[in-house]
Structure 1
Amino acid sequence: MKNSIIVLLVVFLAWSCKKDDDDGGNAPVKVAIRPLDEVAAENDAEIRRYLETHFYNYTDFENPPSDFDFKIKLDTIDGENIDKTPLIEQVESKTVNVSSNEFLLDTDEKDIPHKYYYLVVRENGEGEKSFPTIADSTFLRYEGRLLDGKVFDAVNAGGTWFDLPTFQFPGKAGNRAFRGVGEGMVNFKPGGGIIEHDDGTYTVEDYGIGMIILPSGLGTFNGRRGIISPYSPLIFTIDLLVVIETDHDGDGIPSIDEDSNKDGILYNDDTDGDDIPDYLDADS
């Protein structure tokens, strides 16, 4: 198990360096800017309509078939599915304030409420596995799609590392956007344990399974990335495998404890005024 964790850490470090050096050509193409509050209200109406008219395969999770892959599948409530429970009756929501400077916009909008929805499908209830914080590193599988079901990105095999703070401030984090992914991840627990196999592969038991539905202000907002159009709400299905409490600058203080103003954002804490966030600054 120790070897597996070491392997995961090495993969994480390699992934982090690659993302720092190359954004993979995924920088968004910008379009005309609309007010954050206007788009947030419009997106919330779109998302609620989706939740009212769609369901997930909850019966498979309640009574798993022998060949079940434990993947969330979404479908429209219609025809033979007319009696299914809509997602709107199963999801929970949280509100995150978003300001226009997060997207390096010229407008002056501050702390505009954005509601996202999340669904916890499976949670590891054993032991003391805790939820990740916004400052942690997570190893997961995921699938990102639009409300029309088209998939724009996915890691369905193995897994990938997400360093959650890098999602917080697109303008300062390689323009990665998708802040809502980091915000939403804190609602899921990781798996129970890593099992090594004789062939060198590994599996994670009882990993967390869930879904996040984001307004565009917690996604790419007015950016266009591949098939993601500007101002598009997004859906992410998540398999959360591993969480590592992270000390990004190696100063012995967990990064979450360097959020000195306790606002849940790490980029605006700079106690020594050197333009390096405290969680990345060992001298702070």
Structure 2
Amino acid sequence: MTWKTFGLGLVAAALLTGCKKDENNVLQGEVVPPRDLSEVAAEDEATLQEFLQTHFYNYEEFQTPPADFDYKIRIDTLAGDNAGKTPLIDQVQSRSIQVTEQQIGVGDSETPISHTLYYLTARAGQGVSPTIGDSVLVRYEGTYLDGRGFDSKPNFLWQELPYFLRGYQQGMTELRSGTLEQLVVNPDGTSNIENRGIGMVILPSGLGYFNDSGTGIAAYSPLIFKIELGLVVENTDADGDGIPTWMEDLNGNGYLFDDNTDEDEELKAFTAILRSNFVDADDDGDGTPTRDEIVIDAQGNISFPDTDGDGTPDYLDKDS
């Protein structure tokens, strides 16, 4: 089953609407026939390498914060008085993420194509790093590589990471949050977390919106997200079945939507509602809730009984 996980809630419907054309000469909202995923990945990587080699961020302010510093990441070009600054290429870290056409809804191929995600920690938080399945309290700014903004949330808000862009979600796991003890609520109702983590994620279009311009984002656009990670709900359990969401990534590929133990049975149902394991309280569809087929001890440790000894735990085994 093909699933598209293009950032629910990440970009408001009001952003960049209308019938203007983007830099790819595509009408915003127009359905763009998908290009070859591997071809776009190679182009994006070349674009990102050039960007990282020719730009820097205000690292000196983070190293020695002035009295009025707002702890915002700012990017500028290595030119003129800034020619001697340290380029981003020497400060970011990276990781490879495998993406298939099927995962992003542009084809049936399950052949993984490697995409490089770049991330940077401008200030380490004093809390914890989220998993791909956790709830997080964040504020962020999304921009194109040229600095044009397409989304911004200046106030902290809660996000459920499984429903957001793959690159955004994965990059978030490389940051650390603040702590609840440092939460400050201002008289105007806004809030701040003093020891929050601050970082940046730079992603190719295959980890973003790829050819989907329906949100107003230009097709095939690499993107930047500047993130302030406030709090994390550790071991978020989206379906309340006793198993943390991150543990429902059975194939370990960092993508929760292709783990659906009872998909065949769901497809046969009249309604054909498909529920990936992380949002299914009965993962194997045997009529017994997952919570009743696992054991959680007083310390919160989970064990997975295998009654018939066939190597498949009961909660994933319809015959148990």
Sort the TM-score into its range (normalised by shorter chain). 0.7 to 0.9
Instruction: Provide the C-alpha distance between the structure 2 equivalents of 1:226 and 1:24, rounded to a whole number of angstroms.
Output: 7
Higher mean alpha-carbon deviation, 252-261 vs 220-229, is at: 220-229
Match of 2:116 in 1: 115
Q: Is residue 236 from structure 1 mapped to residue 225 from structure 2 by the alignment?
A: yes
- Check the 8 A contact 1:100/1:106 in 2, yes or no: yes
Change (3 A) 1:30 1:243: same
- Check the 8 A contact 2:78/2:84 in 1, yes or no: yes
Q: Which has the higher contact order (CA 8 A, sep 6+)?
A: 1
Higher mean alpha-carbon deviation, 33-42 vs 225-234, is at: 225-234
Instruction: Provide the C-alpha distance between the structure 2 equivalents of 1:264 and 1:55, rounded to a whole number of angstroms.
Output: 30
Change (3 A) 1:187 1:108: same
- Check the 8 A contact 1:28/1:220 in 2, yes or no: no
Normalised by the size of structure 2, how large is the TM-score? 0.73
Match of 1:207 among 156, 176, 196: 196
Where in structure 2 are the equivalents of 1:47-66 lying within 5 Å? 47-66=48-67
- Check the 8 A contact 1:139/1:162 in 2, yes or no: yes
- Check the 8 A contact 1:152/1:226 in 2, yes or no: no
Q: Is residue 71 from structure 1 mapped to residue 59 from structure 2 by the alignment?
A: no
Change (3 A) 1:85 1:267: same
Match of 2:282 in 1: 283
Aligned partner of 1:187: which letter? E
- Check the 8 A contact 1:146/1:228 in 2, yes or no: no
Match of 1:138 in 2: 136
Q: Which has the higher helix share?
A: 1
Percent identity between the two aligned chains: 45
Instruction: Provide the C-alpha distance between the structure 2 equivalents of 1:277 and 1:32, rounded to a whole number of angstroms.
Output: 27
Change (3 A) 1:103 1:25: farther
Match of 2:177 among 169, 175, 190: 190
Match of 1:150 in 2: 148
CA-CA distance at 1:267 after TM superposition:
1.4
Change (3 A) 1:198 1:65: closer
Give me the CA root mean square deviation.
Answer: 2.2
Instruction: Provide the C-alpha distance between the structure 1 equivalents of 2:152 and 2:214, rounded to a whole number of angstroms.
Output: 14
Instruction: Provide the C-alpha distance between the structure 2 equivalents of 1:187 and 1:140, rounded to a whole number of angstroms.
Output: 14
Where in structure 2 are the equivalents of 1:232-271 lying within 5 Å? 232-245=221-234, 246-271=236-261
- Check the 8 A contact 1:188/1:210 in 2, yes or no: yes
Aligned length: 251
Match of 1:163 in 2: 160
Match of 1:221 among 210, 216, 226: 210
- Check the 8 A contact 2:13/2:215 in 1, yes or no: no
- Check the 8 A contact 2:136/2:231 in 1, yes or no: yes
Match of 2:168 in 1: 181
- Check the 8 A contact 2:204/2:222 in 1, yes or no: yes
What SS does the corresponding residue of 1:224 show, helix, strand or coil?
coil
Higher mean alpha-carbon deviation, 247-256 vs 26-35, is at: 26-35
What SS does the corresponding residue of 1:66 show, helix, strand or coil?
coil
Match of 1:11 in 2: none
Normalised by the size of structure 1, how large is the TM-score? 0.82
Higher mean alpha-carbon deviation, 232-241 vs 219-228, is at: 219-228
Runs of 4+ in 1 over 6 A off after TM superposition: none
Instruction: Provide the C-alpha distance between the structure 2 equivalents of 1:102 and 1:268, rounded to a whole number of angstroms.
Output: 8
Change (3 A) 1:197 1:114: closer
- Check the 8 A contact 2:31/2:214 in 1, yes or no: no
CA-CA distance at 1:41 after TM superposition:
0.6
Aligned partner of 2:113: which letter? I
Match of 1:12 in 2: none
Q: Which runs of 5 or more structure 1 residues have no equivalent in the other structure?
A: 1-18, 168-177
CA-CA distance at 1:230 after TM superposition:
1.2
- Check the 8 A contact 2:29/2:216 in 1, yes or no: no
Higher mean alpha-carbon deviation, 216-225 vs 86-95, is at: 216-225
Match of 1:13 in 2: none
- Check the 8 A contact 1:130/1:190 in 2, yes or no: yes
Aligned partner of 1:146: which letter? Y
Structure with the greater alpha carbon radius of gyration: 2
Instruction: Provide the C-alpha distance between the structure 2 equivalents of 1:69 and 1:119, rounded to a whole number of angstroms.
Output: 18
Change (3 A) 1:110 1:149: same
CA-CA distance at 1:98 after TM superposition:
0.8
Instruction: Provide the C-alpha distance between the structure 2 equivalents of 1:198 and 1:222, rounded to a whole number of angstroms.
Output: 41
